[in-house]
Chains A and B, each alone.
Chain A
Amino acid sequence: RKEVEQDPGPFNVPEGATVAFNCTYSNSASQSFFWYRQDCRKEPKLLMSVYSSGNEDGRFTAQLNRASQYISLLIRDSKLSDSATYLCVVNGAGGSYIPTFGRGTSLIVHP
């Protein structure tokens, strides 16, 4: 079983749409969770950390469900500039502090 799993997409949505991604992880002892954004051939950039109580940053909302072992990212009012790959990253998924990356979910926002 893959340690961190994401639907690769692509999710193809119009501007202004709301879109949600999920990410599941296999190790219940995983300790911290992040969403990164990666543009084509660029480095991953931290979008937001994911806290147990859920957290929001502008149009972005992240949630953690420890019981079901998944995290989610909700993007409201999508912009063209949101088009990217969204990487789920879990620390401790492999039983250590090493971050484990999901393969990423591709988002395409069109006019």
Chain B
Amino acid sequence: EPEVTQTPSHQVTQMGQEVILRCVPISNHLYFYWYRQILGQKVEFLVSFYNNEISEKSEIFDDQFSVERPDGSNFTLKIRSTKLEDSAMYFCASFKEGGNQPQHFGDGTRLSIL
């Protein structure tokens, strides 16, 4: 079964540095998402991406964050000037169609800001 893949699995970065988290969605999927889960808390929506542009974003997704689909396969989340509170699991998800379909999640990147 096709999977969403994410790299790296664990990223350790100094506060203030920039990080790029990478995702390869399932190949025939059209909708891509980033979520964040701080340890012990719920999964929080960050941003959705469709047709090469952001379709929705949450309050968390401020100017510090950006997303890109630089080629036909990768979907990246960039976090500029990282803060301690950015430490979390970041999950990428994709699905084929909009509306009422379940999403397929990657296995996440654990981001640790020191």
Report which A residues bind B (CB closer than 8 A): 31-32, 34, 41-46, 49, 87, 89, 91, 96-104
Contacts and interface: CB of A to CB of B under 8 A. Distances in A.
Nearest to B39: A41
Given A98-B48, A103-B41, A103-B42, A49 B102 contact: yes
A49 B48 CA distance: 21
B45 A99 contact: yes
Contacts of A49: 102
Interface residues of B, number: 21
A99 B110 contact: no
Nearest to A30: B100
Contact of B106 (A34, A41, A43, A46): A43
Nearest to B104: A46
Contacts of B43: 44, 87, 101
Contact of B100 (A42, A91, A102): A91
Contacts of B56: 96, 98
The list of the 5 closest CB pairs from A to B, nearest first, reads A32-B100, A103-B42, A101-B43, A43-B105, A46-B102
